[in-house]
């Protein structure tokens, strides 16, 4: 077990909100086709309100802080908020598109000892990347931001959300990350809008495309290990928590709403009305989420794929039942299981199976 795993396990046993994801704004200077947010400003928290939340989180034992949006650098007081967060000794990760990061901003991030900056790059081709962001020149500007960050020695990550528009380009984005000397991560999950609108899930990958990435060892490691059949359902697994949301992690929106996770939009309270600690420990909705164990998942607990599934309770909630299955994760588990099965078939039949 790694040190981080040990610390997280300890936080779970003590009921500590070990990590906080705080979106400081939903406003954005891009209009990504798959984005789940409403970019209008409906009265976001002031810097003083955000600092109060950060102080409360620090007193509760939070260590890891993710600052995101929208585009966090659109807030003119962002560096003021960031400096305050660092004064509380949070380990800070920033998610940004990088369009507003130049040499001066990169230097300030280094001076504040930001732990990591993550920037989304959808393709090495401007016509694809800019087509997704709906901002001409955004690829060049994001790549320039990465270069500024690297010049300051900052840990930088290229995130590549995968969807139908860019599925063929991720190998080149991965190569670009290596060329720039930054880490690379990808995610094939496209979530519904935070208000429940399901229209953007049309951008999700089709089954053959998911099968393609599940067979790419540069993404999943040992393909045989990744796609091996699920193990037995043990008593320990059934008694475990389904997800860290509401157990060691919490999300606060720009308007003060508190959710178990950014992808789990069940409102548990509002920090403009109650202290974060009070919501974390005493919210009926938070405790409702927290009391769920894997054995309580009425469909998943009896599924043969349970031990290898990446079920998201937030996606299940948006589909109508947080104790039920998440259809997107069910599909991924079924594809993995199918790949494990066809691994024993002749090569000429494997292609036919994958294309079905």
Choose among 96, 50, 105: nearest CA to 69.
96
pLDDT of residue 305: 86
* CB-count burial class (<10 Å; 0-12, 13-18, 19+) for 326: buried
Identify the DSSP state of 261: B
CB contact burial 230-268 (16+ within 10 A = b; e otherwise): beebeeeeeeebbbbbbbbbbbbbbbbbbbbbbbbbbeb
pLDDT of residue 337: 84
d(Cα 75, Cα 57) in Å, to the nearest integer?
Answer: 21
Which parts of the chain register pLDDT below 70?
1, 341-356
User: The whole model's pTM is what?
Assistant: 0.91
pLDDT of residue 350: 47
d(Cα 42, Cα 255) in Å, to the nearest integer?
Answer: 8
pLDDT of residue 342: 54
d(Cα 37, Cα 257) in Å, to the nearest integer?
Answer: 14
- Residues β-bridged to residue 159: 120, 185
Choose among 123, 239, 234, 142: nearest CA to 186.
123
**Counts for the chain of helices (H) and strands (E), in that order:** 16, 9
Q: What are phi and psi of 175, to 5 degrees?
A: -65, -35
């Amino acid at each position: 077990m790694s040190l981080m795993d040990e610390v997280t396990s300890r936080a779970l046993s003590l009921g500590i909100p070990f990590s906080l994801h705080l979106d400081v704004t939903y406003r954005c200077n891009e209009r990504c086709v798959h984005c789940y947010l409403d970019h209008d400003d409906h009265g976001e928290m002031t810097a003083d309100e955000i600092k109060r939340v950060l102080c409360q989180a620090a007193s509760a034992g939070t260590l890891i802080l993710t600052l995101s949006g929208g585009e966090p650098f659109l807030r003119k007081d962002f560096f003021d908020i960031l400096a305050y967060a660092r004064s509380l000794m949070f380990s800070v990760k920033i998610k940004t598109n990088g369009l507003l990061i130049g040499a001066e901003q990169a230097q300030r991030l280094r001076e504040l000892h930001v732990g990591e900056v993550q920037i989304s790059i959808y393709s090495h081709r401007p016509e694809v990347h800019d087509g997704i962001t709906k901002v001409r020149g955004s690829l060049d500007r994001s790549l320039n931001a990465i270069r500024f960050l690297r010049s300051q020695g900052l840990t930088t990550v290229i995130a590549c959300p995968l969807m139908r528009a860019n599925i063929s380009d991720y190998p080149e984005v991965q190569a670009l990350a290596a060329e720039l000397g930054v880490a690379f991560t990808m995610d094939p999950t496209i979530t519904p809008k935070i208000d429940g609108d399901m229209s953007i899930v049309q951008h999700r990958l089709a089954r053959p495309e998911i099968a393609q990435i599940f067979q790419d060892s540069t993404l999943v490691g040992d393909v045989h290990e990744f796609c091996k059949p699920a193990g037995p359902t043990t008593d320990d697994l059934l008694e475990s928590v389904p997800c860290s949301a509401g157990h060691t992690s919490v999300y606060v929106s720009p308007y003060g709403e508190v959710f178990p996770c950014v992808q789990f939009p069940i409102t548990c309270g509002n920090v403009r009305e109650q202290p974060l600690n009070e919501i974390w420990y005493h919210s009926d909705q938070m405790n409702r989420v927290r009391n769920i164990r894997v054995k309580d998942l009425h469909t998943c607990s009896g599924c043969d794929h349970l031990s290898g599934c990446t079920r998201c309770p937030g996606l299940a909630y948006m589909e109508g039942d947080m104790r039920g299955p998440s259809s997107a994760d069910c599909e991924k588990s079924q594809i993995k299981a199918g790949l494990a099965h066809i691994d024993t078939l002749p090569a000429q039949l494997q292609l036919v199976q994958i294309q079905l």
